[in-house]
Amino acid sequence: MWLQDGVYSLWARERWEEDGSPLADGKLPGKNMYGVHPFVMGQDPGNAWYGMFSNNAAAQDWWLLKNHTLGPYPGDVRLRQYAAGGQGDLFFIFGSTAAEVNRIYHNKIVGKPVATP
């Protein structure tokens, strides 16, 4: 999902906004989204891929700012995460393709879905 510049509030709470939509729009105050899995992927200048998953159950704000200029690093993205509390774990994944990073994330970190009775 390609997000616009702004703040995205993540808090696993089932609540629909007044307009009937739980979707974040990047504007303050942030919207709540249910089922939070903050995972970010990117590609370095050498074409290798990386991913970062932040595991924290506390409410979080993620500030996104993209470099829209034609400076030395066009497409540079800045992320800031602020958590209301809790203890967080960061997982870093490296691979040669986006598919490889995505596969490692889903198979090793998130895990397979639980078989319900």
Q: Report in angstroms the alpha-carbon separations of 94 from 43, 44, 48, 64, 112.
A: 10, 11, 8, 22, 20
Structure tokens at 70: 């034609």
Contact 3, 26 (CB under 8 A): yes
Strand partners, 60: 10, 83
Instruction: Show me where the domains of the chain are located.
Output: 6-110
Is pTM beyond 0.85? Reply is no
- Provide the pLDDT for residue 49: 96
State mean pLDDT over 92-104.
95
State mean pLDDT over 85-111.
90
CA distance 34 to 98: 25
What's the pLDDT tens digit per position in 28-63? 655 555 557 788 898 888 899 999 998 887 888 888
What's the pLDDT tens digit per position in 56-87? 878 888 888 887 665 666 667 888 888 888 88
- Provide the pLDDT for residue 76: 77
Nearest to 81 by CA among 101, 59, 106: 59
CA triple 49-47-52, angle to 5 deg: 20
Confidence class for position 104, pLDDT limits 50, 70, 90: very high
CA distance 29 to 31: 7
> How many residues appear in the chain?
117
